[in-house]
């Protein structure tokens, strides 16, 4: 799997938007961009994924650069419950392959 | 939505004993399941891929005789840590994709925390 690069940690104020960046300069044409998050002492939780176009769901938005070499996960209004480690992962669409986790970004939310 | 459930959530055992962790897909069939472990303050590391009706595929450095994986049905995979030692203490997490394409999301269990005394 192609590698991704994320900042180790970020901090946000509660009720403010949060933009979590991810670089994936070696992404291939068959890679989907997946985002998962892991709250303390829990298994990872799916957040969002996309291929080329920006995606929105009830949890977040995913903005994908035109060249697909980077993406940004957007939490529109951070809450204390959003404090977690966020993982940006590339997954080839052609096979039922596992997710390969990097270190992710630890998001802290300040009340 | 699809749910994956693990049992037990936590277990404490004595060194030298074996521990079985179950991973169930509750509302979908999973021909493949993935097992991860996570040490404190580290990321998830893939241990093995479990395939229904066939042998599991282990990642490099994972002892297949120590971490026995059985995927006997389309909704159940088990991980048995044999002759557990304190260094096996970790957070074990399973994951299952409801589909066969890499385009879809994966669902994760709640995790099982193993402490070996």
Residues B3-11 have a mean pLDDT of: 95
Give the other-Cβ count within 10 Å of A23's Cβ.
16
Question: Do the chains contact at A42 and B110, CB–CB below 8 Å?
Answer: yes
Residues of A in contact with B99 (CB under 8 A): 96
Question: Do the chains contact at B43 and A104, CB–CB below 8 Å?
Answer: yes
Question: Do the chains contact at A42 and B113, CB–CB below 8 Å?
Answer: no
Range from A30-39, A45-54, B20-29, B101-110 carrying the lowest mean pLDDT: B101-110
How far is CA A78 from each of CA A26, A107, B14, B50, rounded to the nearest angstrom?
Answer: 30, 10, 42, 37
The partner residue sitting opposite A46, judged by closest CB among B44, B45, B105, is: B105
How far is CA B16 from each of CA A18, B11, B68, B104, rounded to the nearest angstrom?
Answer: 47, 14, 15, 40
Residue A97's pLDDT band (boundaries 50, 70, 90)? confident
Question: Do the chains contact at A43 and B99, CB–CB below 8 Å?
Answer: no
Chain mean pLDDT for chain B: 92
More confident residue, A108 or B103: A108
Look at residue B99 and tell me whether its pLDDT is greater than 80: no
Residue to mutate among A84, A96, A106, with most B CBs inside 10 A, is A96
Pair of tokens at residue B38: 């996570």
Look at residue A1 and tell me whether its pLDDT is greater than 60: no
With an 8 Å Cβ cutoff, is B16 touching chain A? no
CA distance B2 to B5: 10
E strand intervals along A1-111: 9-13, 18-23, 31-38, 45-50, 55-56, 61-64, 70-75, 84-92, 105-110
Q: Which of A69, A53, A72 is nearest to A7 (CA)?
A: A72
pLDDT in tens, B9-20: 999 999 999 999
- CB-based contact A54:A69 (threshold 8 Å): no
Look at residue B33 and tell me whether its pLDDT is greater than 90: yes
Give percent above pLDDT 70 in chain A. Answer: 97
With an 8 Å Cβ cutoff, is B107 touching chain A? yes
Residue B98's pLDDT band (boundaries 50, 70, 90)? confident
pLDDT in tens, A38-73: 999 999 999 999 999 999 999 999 999 999 999 999
């Amino acid at each position: 799997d192609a590698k991704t690069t994320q900042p180790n940690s970020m901090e946000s104020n509660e009720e403010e938007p949060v933009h979590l960046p991810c670089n994936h300069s070696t992404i291939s044409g068959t890679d989907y961009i997946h985002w998962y998050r892991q709250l303390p002492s829990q298994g990872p939780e799916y957040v969002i994924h996309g291929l080329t176009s920006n995606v929105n769901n009830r949890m977040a938005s995913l903005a994908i650069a035109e060249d697909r070499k980077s993406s940004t996960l957007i939490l529109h209004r951070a809450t204390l419950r959003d404090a977690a480690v966020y993982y940006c992962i590339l997954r080839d669409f052609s096979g039922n392959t596992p997710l390969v986790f990097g270190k992710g970004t630890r998001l802290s939310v300040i009340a | 939505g699809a749910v994956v459930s693990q049992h037990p959530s936590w277990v404490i055992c004595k060194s030298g004993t074996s521990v079985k962790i179950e991973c169930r897909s509750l509302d979908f069939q999973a021909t493949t399941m993935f097992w991860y472990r996570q040490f404190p303050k580290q990321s998830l590391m893939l241990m093995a891929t479990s395939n229904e009706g066939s042998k599991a595929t282990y990642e490099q450095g994972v002892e297949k005789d120590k971490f026995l994986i059985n995927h006997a049905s389309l909704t159940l995979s088990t991980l048995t840590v044999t002759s557990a030692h304190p260094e096996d203490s970790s957070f074990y997490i399973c994951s299952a994709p409801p589909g066969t394409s890499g385009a879809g999301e994966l669902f994760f269990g709640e995790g099982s925390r193993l402490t070996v005394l």
